[in-house]
Amino acid sequence: MKVLKFGGTSVGSPERLAQLVPIIQSQESNRQLVVLSAVAGTTNALDAIATQYAQGNVVEARQLIAQLLQSYQTFVQALFVTPEGKDKGQEIIDCHFALLEDLGNDLFTSVEERLVLAQGELLSTTLFHQYLTEQGISAILLPALDFMRLNEDQEPDLPYIQQRLTHELNQFQAETLFITQGYICRNTFGEIDNLRRGGSDYTASLIGAALAAEEIQIWTDIDGFHNNDPRWVANTKPIAQLSFEEAAELAYFGAKILHPQSVFPAQKANIPVRLLDTLDRQAPGTLISSAFDHPDEIVAVAAKDNITAIRIHSSRMLLAYGFLRRVFDVFERYKTPIDMITTSEVAVSLTIDDRAYLREIITELTYFGTVEVDDNQTIICIVGDFKRNKNGYATVVSEAVKHMPIRMISYGGSEHNISLLLPAKYKIEALRALHHRLF
C-alpha cells in the first residue's frame, strides 16, 4: 500500500484534478490510498462563511456561499465530460451547498463551524470519485469521519484509526484504489472536528503509519524541500534526501511545504515520506527517511516570521531554582508554545509566535521582574547534522551574519539545528548571506 496525498493546488482546477489519474496509475504498488485536500482557497472561504454565521451575519454568509457555489459550478462543468457526469457533479455540489445554506436558519454552534470547514475535503473527494467513475476507473471512497478520530487529549487516536481503517479496507479485498479526505476527523464526543489548518499532510502520515505503508507521497506544487527560501534567495536547490529530524526542524521553522506534525507518525513507524511535484512529475523531489543522514553537513536554511521575543530580567533568578519552571508555567497556562530560549544568570529570553495571550502573559511575567518585548523578529534556522564536527559550524554561521544585530542564538538544543533570532528587516539579507557562505 502507498499513501498519496494531493494538496489544495494539486486539486485546484479541473485540469489539475484530471492530471492526478496518470500519477496514481503510474505507481508500482498494488494498492493506493489517495488523500485529498480541499480545492485551493475553499477552506479559507469556508472559514470566512463560518465567521459570518458565528457573528449572526446570515446575509453576508449566504453571499459568500453563493460566490463559492458559482466557482464550483464552473469547476463541475469543466471537469465532467458527459451530460450525466455534469448532472452528477451538480447534484454533489447542490447537496453540500444546501447544507451550508441551511446552517443560517438557527443558532450557529461550534460543532456547525467545524461542519462548515469539513465541506471542502468532502467536496473534493466526492467530485474526484465521481470523475474516476466517469472515466471508468474503479475506486472506493472511504469517509475519513468513519476512522479518523482524536482521543481525549485532542491527539489522533492511532490504535483506533488503525483498527477501523484496516476493517474498512478488508471489506474491499479486490479493490486497489481508495480515496479519503485529509484534515477532517471526529473527536472523542463523535463530533466533526479537524486536524487544524494544513492538516491533510498529517492525515496522510497517520494513515501511512496505521497501515505500515510502503511509502507516503506528499504531492504539492514545488519540487521538494529547498536548501533555502526560493522566494528570497536565488539558486536554491531541492534537497534529495533528509532525515526525519532534519525534515521536522525544517517543516517547523518555516519551509511551508510540509505540515510540521506530519513528520512524527511516519518517523515513529519508519515509513519513508517523499515530497513530489505535480507540475514536474519526473523531478526526484525530497525523500525523508531514516536510511540517510548527512554526516557533518549543513543541508538547509529556513526562516520563520512574526516572532515575538520576551526577556525577563530578575535578580531573583540568581542562584535560585524553580525560576524557569514558574516562567514556563505562565506560558503553559495560556497554551502558548515557546520556540527558542536562552538564559543567563539574571535574565531569560524566549520567543513565541502566537500572540493571542501576549498581554496576559506579560502581566503575569512582570511579577518575576522587568519584562522587555520585541516584536517583528525572525528566526533563521540552520538545519543539518552537527553530531561530529561540533566546533566548525557555529563559527561559519556567525561569520556569515556578523554584521547583523543578532538578538538570540540557540545551538546544541538538538544536533540538527542552529537558530538565530534577528529583527525581521534583516531576514532576506541573513538568508542570502548564509546561502552564500554555506552552499
Residues of this chain that bind ligand ASP (CB under 6 A): 8, 37-38, 43, 120, 182-183, 197-200
Provide the minimum distance between the beta carbon of 333 and ligand ASP in the complex, in angstroms, as a whole number: 28
Task: Choose between 23 and 117: whose C-beta lies nearer to ligand ASP.
Answer: 117
Provide the minimum distance between the beta carbon of 201 and ligand ASP in the complex, in angstroms, as a whole number: 6
378 interacts with, out of Mg ion, ligand ASP, none, CB within 5 to 8 A per kind:
none
* Sign of the torsion angle spanned by Cα atoms 29, 35, 37, 38: positive
Task: Choose between 9 and 308: whose C-beta lies nearer to ligand ASP.
Answer: 9
43 interacts with, out of Mg ion, ligand ASP, none, CB within 5 to 8 A per kind:
ligand ASP
Provide the minimum distance between the beta carbon of 183 and ligand ASP in the complex, in angstroms, as a whole number: 4
Task: Choose between 194 and 342: whose C-beta lies nearer to ligand ASP.
Answer: 194
Residues that bind Mg ion in the complex, under the rule CB under 5 A: 7, 198
Provide the minimum distance between the beta carbon of 259 and Mg ion in the complex, in angstroms, as a whole number: 6
Task: Choose between 38 and 352: whose C-beta lies nearer to ligand ASP.
Answer: 38
Provide the minimum distance between the beta carbon of 124 and ligand ASP in the complex, in angstroms, as a whole number: 9
Provide the minimum distance between the beta carbon of 40 and ligand ASP in the complex, in angstroms, as a whole number: 8
Measured in degrees and rounded to the nearest 5, phi and psi for residue 308 equal -110, 130
Q: What is d(CA 260, CA 250) in angstroms, rounded to the nearest whole number?
A: 8
316 interacts with, out of Mg ion, ligand ASP, none, CB within 5 to 8 A per kind:
none
Task: Choose between 261 and 342: whose C-beta lies nearer to Mg ion.
Answer: 261
Provide the minimum distance between the beta carbon of 14 and Mg ion in the complex, in angstroms, as a whole number: 20
333 interacts with, out of ligand ASP, Mg ion, none, CB within 5 to 8 A per kind:
none
Task: Choose between 7 and 384: whose C-beta lies nearer to Mg ion.
Answer: 7
183 interacts with, out of ligand ASP, Mg ion, none, CB within 5 to 8 A per kind:
ligand ASP
- Longest Cα–Cα distance of the chain, Å, equals 78
Residue nearest to Mg ion (CB): 198
387 interacts with, out of Mg ion, ligand ASP, none, CB within 5 to 8 A per kind:
none
Q: What is d(CA 404, CA 434) in angstroms, rounded to the nearest whole number?
A: 12
Task: Choose between 7 and 272: whose C-beta lies nearer to Mg ion.
Answer: 7
265 interacts with, out of Mg ion, ligand ASP, none, CB within 5 to 8 A per kind:
none
Task: Choose between 304 and 435: whose C-beta lies nearer to Mg ion.
Answer: 304
Provide the minimum distance between the beta carbon of 182 and ligand ASP in the complex, in angstroms, as a whole number: 5
Task: Choose between 43 and 351: whose C-beta lies nearer to ligand ASP.
Answer: 43
> Looking at the DSSP assignment, which residues form a beta bridge with residue 177?
32
199 interacts with, out of ligand ASP, Mg ion, none, CB within 5 to 8 A per kind:
ligand ASP
Provide the minimum distance between the beta carbon of 256 and ligand ASP in the complex, in angstroms, as a whole number: 11
